[in-house]
Structure 1
Amino acid sequence: MPAGPRKRATLATVAEAAGVSLPTVSKVLNGRADVAADTRAQVEAALRDLAYVPQNGRRTITPSPLVDIVFDDLVSPYALEVLRGVTDATAEFGIDVVVGRMPAAESAGPLTAENHWAQRLKSNDRSGLIVVTSELSLRQVESFENAGLPLVVIDPLNLPRAEVTSVGATNWSGGITATEHLLRLGHRRIAFAGGPPGASCSQARLHGYRAALENAGVAFDPELVRHGKFGHPDGLDIGDRLLALAAPPTAVFAASDATALGVLEAARRRGLRVPQDLSVIGFDDTMLARLATPPLTVIRQPLQDMGRVAVRTLLKLITGDTLDSHHVELATQLVVRESTGPAPDEGAR
């Protein structure tokens, strides 16, 4: 029986046969010079073997994917670390990226008929969207789906639906590790300076903190837990309130580097020495931690890797590949510097 007509090859099948990304195939077809010679030869061989022919029968320019990355706070050290990972990955995969801030009207509430963020992105030929540490409503997520815009969220403050694709860190494990480090140093009155109460990453760090206390047989004291925005001003306010307690903490686990720096300033204003009188540990390991006085002990998030993974995940969504998981968590790590030390003797403060 004669074989049926051969199925037309697509860019995706060429990319799979050559073992490269879709943007790399696009670069070869468009005659771009930024492709290694060996890689170019692989792609050209796959094009010949699969008898690839553009749908109109002649070579056309295939534009690279264009994606948006949106931050709540574009100039924070956290954002800059994530952005570096994103730009490294987009350069590797030949993706063009537009960087911006969360639209004010969008961050204030659900999408309205007058404010069609998703439609605006689609009309500007965006292929997908990465959102960093922002709060999204269910209506916003649904609007991206309706517009056919793949979405990946990095370190989400909330997940309005379980199927939203996200990249984060092991926040709960990081919370345990931070608190256990302070417990090993002899601290028992350990405070938690958290982020917004509804932020899932902050809640996970808080739960890790509580689990470590329970495992060590240390009673949880709700008076030692305070919440605010991830930033120096709120960290300063939280530090002031904690250190004004009749029985202040001897150590503070802050849910971000910027929050920790605010706590350090609150201690300085009270004449407390760090770490002799108060130990402080942060979460992120941005350049703030390394430049702090004293240098900050932290739970390191692999922020650049989170950016790279988000790009790779978004590219899979754009090309229709199946994801192994909708949620990826990268491992955190304790980095000990000079802001933590043994608990002060009873009555020494």
Structure 2
Amino acid sequence: MDSEAPGERVTLAEVAGEAGVSLSTISKVLNGRADVSAATRTRVETLLADRGYVRRHGRAEARTDLIELVFPELDPIWSMELIDGVETVAKEHGLSVVLTVSGNRHAPDPDWIEGVMRRRPIGIVLVFAELAPEYRERLRSRAIPFVIIDPAGDPSPDAPSVGSANWSGGLMATRHLIDLGHRRIAAITGPEDMMCSLARVDGYRSAMNSAGLPIDPAWIRFGDFHVSGGRDHARELLALDEPPTAIFAGSDLQAVGALDAARVAGLRVPEDVSIVGYDDIPLARWVTPRLTTVHQPLKRMGEEAARLVIRLSDETPATTPRMDLATSLVVRESTAPPAGTPAAR
């Protein structure tokens, strides 16, 4: 068996000789078998990548009826929007979706790649900030494409991805509060090492600066995107000597936590404090008051990622595909002018 690389042909026998292993070991590596040492597997895959090896008819051999969707964790609300989007497109193409939970928000666990080699999906959709170069090379050697859904990071320029406009989302949420008359506006966002957290806060800062409003450092809080994080930070903000009259939360779940903190503090939303969320998950329409939020098109992000990975399984584009979807503000009942202003309700 051999394969063409640009300008040359490489045989597996040559790779085996250079690696000092048998052809059967090369076959085990290519087929994702577990009975190969990590050192040998790395040596073989490095040689295959260096020699530009891609299986002849690799896409046809690797193709199955599966798209693999990989999360670092499953949130019962937020994750379902992405799953729904990927499944919708998969069904349109007669494919099924296999769901994997692995690693942390930065990357899947090392043993994940071994399972992928065995499952041979048509392609992989990853909800991670990045994919390590060695993983990319292993996938490339098997002609398995991947796409990163990017609501939570900033992938390398050569990583196919689907993301959304986080900076403009933070900008429009804060401008909405400023236009209502708020001047003391706080921001609660996610982890400080995630690009989406930083981008949303940068949008907040830009809106405040352009309006000539001061930003108290105590008003910006980094945490996580969960309810408990929003509750804890909002409780501290509302206990300040001069508490904010409005809070921009980096996720709807954080906003729900902020709603609870306001209730416990005896404050009314939006009469005493306005709250804006981010994502526009279905829960935003069911809480009381209904949540003003930034719509992040999570389902469509899943759909576009699935379409892209299917296309990449059939063709190699000249440039790395990257798509950033627009965000929009959805105004509901959790925001109003601050108490005491002429326009206050």
Match in the other structure for 2:317: 322
Q: Secondary structure at the match of 1:242?
A: helix
Matches for 1:140-289 after TM superposition, within 5 Å = 140-159=135-154, 161-289=156-284
Quote the sequence identity (%). 41
Is 79-88 or 143-152 further displaced after alignment? 143-152
| TM-score (norm: length of structure 2) | 0.75
Query: Which residue is 1:309 aligned to?
Result: 304
Matches within 5 A, 1:20-59: none
Contact 1:135 1:156 in 2 (8 A): no
Aligned-pair CA distance for 1:100: 2.5
- Residues 234 and 262, structure 1, Cα contact 8 Å, conserved in 2: yes
The answer as to 2:75 corresponding to 1:78 is: no
Contact 2:155–2:161 (CA under 8 A) maintained in structure 1: no
Matched letter for residue 257 of structure 2: G
The aligned residue for residue 88 of structure 2 is: 88
**Quick one: distance in 2 between partners of 1:234 and 1:135?**
24
Q: CA deviation at 1:74?
A: 2.2
Using the alignment, how far apart are the partners of 1:209 and 1:235 within structure 2? 17
Name structure 1 gaps, 5 residues minimum.
1-59
Amino acid at match of 1:181: H
Please give the per-residue CA displacement for 1:242-264, whole angstroms capped at 9, x wherever unaligned. 11211111000011000100111
Q: Which ranges of structure 2 fall in alignment gaps of 5 or more residues?
A: 1-59
Q: Secondary structure at the match of 2:186?
A: strand
Relative to the length of structure 1, the TM-score reads 0.75
Q: Cα–Cα, structure 1 residues 270 and 143, in superposed 2: closer, same or farther, change >3 Å?
A: farther
Question: Cα deviations across residues 184-241 of structure 1 (Å, max 9, x unaligned)?
Answer: 0000111111011111111111111111111111122221000111110111111112
Distance across 2 between alignment mates of 1:342 and 1:301: 25
What's the CA shift for 1:110?
Answer: 7.0
CA distance in 2, matches of 1:67, 1:191: 41
User: CA offsets, 1:258-300, max 9 Å, x none?
Assistant: 0100111111100000000000000111111011111000110
* Alignment CA distance shift 1:146-1:302 (3 Å): same
Structure 1 letter corresponding to 2:285? R
| Whole-Å separation in 2 of the counterparts to 1:187 and 1:109 | 36
User: Partners in 1 of 2:105 and 2:196 — Cα distance?
Assistant: 20
Contact 2:62 2:142 in 1 (8 A): no
Compared with structure 1, are the counterparts of its residues 178 and 73 closer, same or farther at alpha carbon in structure 2 (3 Å cutoff)?
A: same
